[in-house]
Structure 1
């Protein structure tokens, strides 16, 4: 039997998602729920597209302070095609660092952990290969945006 391939990472695309004001929904049966609207942005790299307003990040703040990320939004290419983007992952760090991020303070990305899995969906034939790949990302939270580089797992 042949040895299994060892996965690698290949930079695929970059995302800058602009965010609206955080909506704190308080403690629900699932936990402390927050919703952060996605109001625009840009994707560059393997494909180029504008992020459309109307998506959001449905966050769950865990008892340990870590934030479970569940973001869903759409992007439109220059020729009118759509790409549905879903990210899920975790942002964690020391309590004072997470509080600084919540206030919108500038924090060095090395001070906290923010990693995502990225799934793409599209009906555009020339972008269909995006649906056949697995992507992971390293992200940065800024006052009014999230930026990340997505890597295709080879």
Structure 2
């Protein structure tokens, strides 16, 4: 008997608004064109609610074609004091003029660019431990001083 794998589906899990600081452009390093964007706050709402803590960052690599590899890491804390660590990996791509406009903080329709991420979550909270047993994907929107996304649990 040959078993058929389950077909994954997406269940909405939580919404995130990440407040970001300015872009520190390191220029071209041995790894590529490096930029670092500080994470200064934000919030998570949905299957759990939490405040995003300052101190995280997005360590980006800008590819020669202008697409951006996303490598974000930040922490959040619930009102009960539970800590959550979120690691985000993804890509933002689009035409050069759209990517440049996003860099300058212009409001761009999210259908004009591709911005998708995966999320991995760590926590010591027994109440939230189930988050560590799932994969999450997100469709993101870049605004002048925020990144917003809805995270979906992959079933």
TM-score (norm 1): 0.99
Partner of 1:35: 36
The separation in 2 between residues aligned to 1:93 and 1:44, in whole angstroms, is 28
How much has 1:2 moved relative to structure 2? Answer: 2.7
Partner of 1:21: 22
The separation in 1 between residues aligned to 2:24 and 2:5, in whole angstroms, is 45
The separation in 2 between residues aligned to 1:3 and 1:122, in whole angstroms, is 33
Partner of 1:81: 82
How many aligned residue pairs are there? 154
Helix, strand or coil at the partner of 1:22: strand
Unaligned runs of at least 5 residues, structure 2 = none
Partner of 1:139: 140
The separation in 1 between residues aligned to 2:16 and 2:4, in whole angstroms, is 35
The separation in 2 between residues aligned to 1:25 and 1:87, in whole angstroms, is 21
Partner of 2:124: 123
The separation in 2 between residues aligned to 1:144 and 1:64, in whole angstroms, is 24
Partner of 2:104: 103
Which whole-Å deviations, capped at 9, do the CAs of 1:77-111 have from their partners, x for residues lacking one?
Answer: 00101000110000000000000000000000000
Unaligned runs of at least 5 residues, structure 1 = none
The separation in 1 between residues aligned to 2:14 and 2:121, in whole angstroms, is 12
The separation in 2 between residues aligned to 1:93 and 1:26, in whole angstroms, is 21
Partner of 1:4: 5
Matched, 1:46 2:47: yes
TM-score (norm 2): 0.98
Which whole-Å deviations, capped at 9, do the CAs of 1:54-96 have from their partners, x for residues lacking one?
Answer: 0000000001110000000000000101000110000000000
The separation in 2 between residues aligned to 1:62 and 1:74, in whole angstroms, is 27
